[in-house]
Amino acid sequence: MSAIPSVNLEEFLSGDEAKKQKFIKEIGAAFENIGFVALSGHFLSEALVKDLYDEIKKFFTLPQAVKDTYEIAGIGGQRGYTSFGKEHAKGRKEGDLKEFWHFGQYVEDNPKLESEYPANVTVKELPDFNNVGQETFKMLEKTAKYVLRALALHLDLEENYFDAYIKNGNSILRPIHYPPITQAPKNAVRAAAHGDINLITLLMGAHGKGLQVKNHEGKWVDAIAKPDQLMINVGDMLSRLTNDKLKSTIHQVVNPPKEFWGTSRYSIPFFMHPISEMPLNCLENCVDKAHPKQFDDITAGEFLNERLIELGLIKK
């Protein structure tokens, strides 16, 4: 089974101080040691998860010509549809074997950010698609808020340290379809080895083999969640902020054995981003003689732009 530790968010929310401290200790240790954790007790209901999978399967089975109408030029794939093979991992030329959709932030009470972010794209053919996507986005964002509160306490910060930075943050919900493989791929995998850009990622759909994490010994280990769990990992922004105290771990989605090439795989990561102005300067309490500062000062917006260029999603 998976070598990834499991935690339950209900302990943090229980009102029992001992359970709350247990959760903080366990998730802090997991993120320092391997950068991944399987989390239960989140805010997604079974019914909402089922509805989302139903809707995204309907979308990805639409005719290609219809899906292509939702690929919006000039926004680096930040909203709407991105077609098969467009995205590649940093340092690779081969496109990943996937197509995906992006739901973005639903801004509240902030006209400046509303004008800064691209608008979400409405799928006319599927009347429930956008409503289900928005509800899922909000429930994952709520889950992420409490995870970050626990991490703030682990880092000896105020519990609400991240709250103002993630409210109306530039987060993304990405339903991914890995289509059936019809011929031997040349150097391409479903998702090549990479680290995530953002603060933390909450992943739905890690219930079977495919997702692998590189541990500190350089070995690939399977990351398999139970059906009621989300797989959560540290992104590069949080790693920078904590001077690599919390580890952004390299991970990949490998191609299945040949006998399973004919099957689709779906996974749905939620990339928790802060507002662009958030400074990612290494926290003072994560820097000392034994752990000198490893990263230059940068804002979240500047860092995101750099990485989107490296991924081939926007041009210089």
Residue 95, pLDDT score: 52
Residue 316, pLDDT score: 67
The closest of 122, 299, 96 to 178, measured between CA atoms, is: 96
- Write out the two tokens for 252: 């990949």
Rounded to the nearest angstrom, the gap between the alpha carbon of residue 98 and the centroid of all alpha carbons in its chain is 16
Residue 52, pLDDT score: 95
Residue 73, pLDDT score: 85
Contact residues for 39 (Cβ-Cβ < 8 A; gap 6+): 6, 7, 8, 9, 27, 143, 147, 202, 229, 230, 231, 232
Residue 179, pLDDT score: 81
Contact residues for 91 (Cβ-Cβ < 8 A; gap 6+): 310
What is the residue whose two structure tokens read 């952004």? 248
pTM for the full predicted model = 0.90
Cβ atoms < 10 Å from Cβ of 133? 25
Give the pairing of strands 200-204 and 80-82.
unpaired
Q: Beta strands of the chain (E only): which ranges? A: 6-8, 36-40, 80-82, 99-104, 172-173, 176-178, 191-194, 200-204, 211-214, 220-222, 230-234, 251-253, 265-272
Contact residues for 220 (Cβ-Cβ < 8 A; gap 6+): 212, 213, 214, 252
Residue 265, pLDDT score: 81
Q: What is the mean pLDDT of each run of 10 residues along the chain (316 residues)?
A: 83 97 97 93 94 96 95 86 68 65 95 93 97 97 98 97 96 90 62 84 76 85 87 95 93 72 84 96 94 96 87 70
Cα dihedral value 265, 246, 103, 61, nearest 10: 0
Residue 206, pLDDT score: 57
